[in-house]
Amino acid sequence: MNAALPVSPLSEEPRRARGRPRKTADERDDGNRRQELLRAAARLFRQQGFAATSTRDIAAAAGMRSGSPFYHFENKEALLAAVMLEGMQRATGRQAGAMHAAASHGHPLSARDCLRVLVRNHLEVLLGDESDFIPVMLYEWRSLSEVQRQAVNELRREYEAVWVPVLQALHDRGELSGDTSLARLMLFGALNWAVQWFEPGRKKSLDDLTEAALQLFLKDST
């Protein structure tokens, strides 16, 4: 790859390398810069709100020039949609990883154990490190276009689909009362509301919140 190219006669046209041209140093960093932009946008959208945040604010927070966000996104609305999609993709990946890790301990997981893993992971997504993405989705849902909502909803349904058989199994075992679809909606509603009142470093940990949620929604298994 690093061998010198043969010199062409002066009368010939310079040969062009096949494929895409080499990227500049800035272009090679596009992926990282895009992630920095998404993190900055998520943080500001959560703190200030979508309407009160300008692309200039986001660019400054990401250490970019004011026009740089438009290299990655058509407009602020597209950036908002990207933040929500990134949030759901991260949440889905974290959830799959948490379930895989729990199942790899060598003993079968009960439905209750599975729900504990799902709830604990969801709280981590909402309240843990770099947790601005999903709260932005909760606050700014109406700012999306219908097409953008459909794209985010597709990922949300994929994320929530993992919970459905777990809740059904708990219902079949008599540990969950009522309609499982309503239980799922109310469970997510209760967990998502934690972004409004939970304060890290106070008396209750995410593990405490997880156990409290299980106690609220499930019957005693003994």
Instruction: CATH number of the domain at 183, please.
Output: 1.10.357.10
Q: Are 68 and 59 a contacting pair, CB within 8 Å?
A: yes
* 151-158: average pLDDT: 96
Residue 107 lies in a domain: yes
Which of 100, 92, 61 shows the shortest CA–CA distance to 79? Answer: 61
Residue 80 lies in a domain: yes
* 9-23: average pLDDT: 36
The CA distance from 99 to 113, in Å, is 10
Residue 63 lies in a domain: no
Residue 34 lies in a domain: no
At 71 the pLDDT is 85
At 105 the pLDDT is 75
At 157 the pLDDT is 96
* 105-123: average pLDDT: 92
At 28 the pLDDT is 36
* 188-200: average pLDDT: 91
Instruction: Tell me the per-residue pLDDT of 38-59, one tens digit each, with 9 for 90 and over.
Output: 999 999 999 999 999 999 999 9
Most confident range (mean pLDDT) of 17-31, 61-75, 159-173, 203-217 is: 159-173
The residue among 30 and 173 whose pLDDT is bigger is: 173
Residue 131 lies in a domain: yes
Domain holding 103, by residue range, is 76-217
At 12 the pLDDT is 35
Categorize the per-residue pLDDT at 191 as very low, low, confident or very high, splitting at 50, 70 and 90.
Answer: very high
Which ranges of the chain would DSSP assign to H, the alpha helix? 25-28, 30-48, 55-61, 69-72, 76-103, 111-127, 133-140, 146-161, 163-172, 180-192, 194-197, 206-217
The residue among 113 and 23 whose pLDDT is bigger is: 113
Does 6 have pLDDT greater than 60? Answer: no
At 215 the pLDDT is 95
Q: How many Cβ atoms sit within 10 Å of the Cβ of residue 9? A: 5
- Compute the C-alpha angle 211/178/127, nearest 5°: 30
* 78-87: average pLDDT: 96
Instruction: Tell me the per-residue pLDDT of 121-154, one tens digit each, with 9 for 90 and over.
Output: 999 999 988 889 999 999 999 999 999 999 999 9
The CA distance from 100 to 85, in Å, is 23
The residue among 136 and 20 whose pLDDT is bigger is: 136
Residue 45 lies in a domain: no
Domain tally, the chain: 1
